[in-house]
Amino acid sequence: MTVVTKNGSMSDFTHPKNNAQLRLAVAGGVFIMMFMSMYSEIKGMEAVLAASTIARGSDSFVPSRRAASVVEAGEYGPREGYSLAYHESYGYFNDISDTTWEMSKDWAQGFKQHAHNKEKFAFYRGPRAWYNYHYDAYFSCPEAKRVGGVGDGPKWTCDIHRIKGIGERRWEQAQKASGKKEPYDANKYGCLVYSIGSNGDYTFEEAVLKHMGGPSCEIHIFDPTGEYARPENAEKNMHFHHWGLMGSKQNKTKDMYDIFEIMKKLGHEDRVIDIFKIDCEGCEWESSKDFVPMQNLRQILLETHGLLETVEETVAFYDRFAANNLVIFSKEANIESNGCLEYSFLRLHPDFLNR
């Protein structure tokens, strides 16, 4: 093949020497195109990666104000091509592409929660058998962590590193709306954690503090079975209450309150609860009718205990979560127990599960 070169001369590329030059030129062009594509992706992630600090040798992630959540609207919003996950997670994810999010939606909407499409399958064989065939995780969080390590107290939590920044941004928005300018206060619209049931074990709560980089979350712990308050709690913004959780339709007993009463007593009626952890030895069955529909509970980390008397009641309990746009991102059996399951839910926009 003969072509005219840039200076007007003729060049025969069928000649072995020139043919080698052509291959070299093409390879160089391909390399440049690949480099430019990679450079574009790197620049797109630069704001998040450069602003974040990962503590080497530990499982803690300490995000800066800018990286930790390009969270709510405005300058903290997602870049082009990443808005779908951002809006359908209420600002929780700003770094999941629209393409990846659509794949997650397709999977979630097509996921079958019952083996052989039969709700009763294995029910009469007991909780261990039934849970093996029903209600599994169908959503993945990019940075899910078992916060607290190993054992019975820790819980699988969705991308906990995002929560501090979201709380700070929520505080900034409240400041802007009020016209005030004050230092960040977690107790006013910032990060909020409820932990129902502790038995004096603070493993999970201490781990939350570690991941947040200090007492930047307001943490409330509830347990009516003992006096588990500690002198060091106050300086860590951790508050113990000798209260238990019950359903709003149940008969009142001493030291037992429903979720609406608890939030009112603490002045949290207009607050978002970022993490709602509950392990209350059976109180979940009735109280869930109150707390599951509450839109201001964003993550629910729940241990269930056995099964209800009928399969219809049990199915109604679990279906309540999806009906309120809470997706399962973790399911873990408590293998020391006879049918206790650890579930973790994240609240998403109704459009995620419904086309």
What tens digit of pLDDT does each residue of 287-311 get?
Answer: 999 999 999 999 999 999 999 999 9
The predicted structure's pLDDT at residue 73: 37
Residue 108, classed as helix, strand or coil, is helix
Q: What DSSP character marks residue 234?
A: G
What pairing do the DSSP bridges indicate for beta strands 340-347 and 297-305? Answer: antiparallel
Answer for the pair 155, 148: CB distance below 8 angstroms, yes or no: yes
The predicted structure's pLDDT at residue 336: 86
- Structure tokens that stand for 124 in this block: 């009469």
The predicted structure's pLDDT at residue 78: 81
Per-residue pLDDT at 154 exceeds 60: yes
Q: For 96-103, what is the mean pLDDT?
A: 97
Round to whole Å and give the CA distance between 196 and 219: 11
Q: For 62-80, what is the mean pLDDT?
A: 47
Per-residue pLDDT at 40 exceeds 80: no
Residue 220 region, left (φ>0) first, then alpha (ψ -120 to 50), else beta? beta
The predicted structure's pLDDT at residue 143: 95
215 closest CA partner among 187, 240, 196, 188: 187
Q: CA torsion sign, 301 to 99 to 109 to 289? A: positive
Per-residue pLDDT at 347 exceeds 70: yes
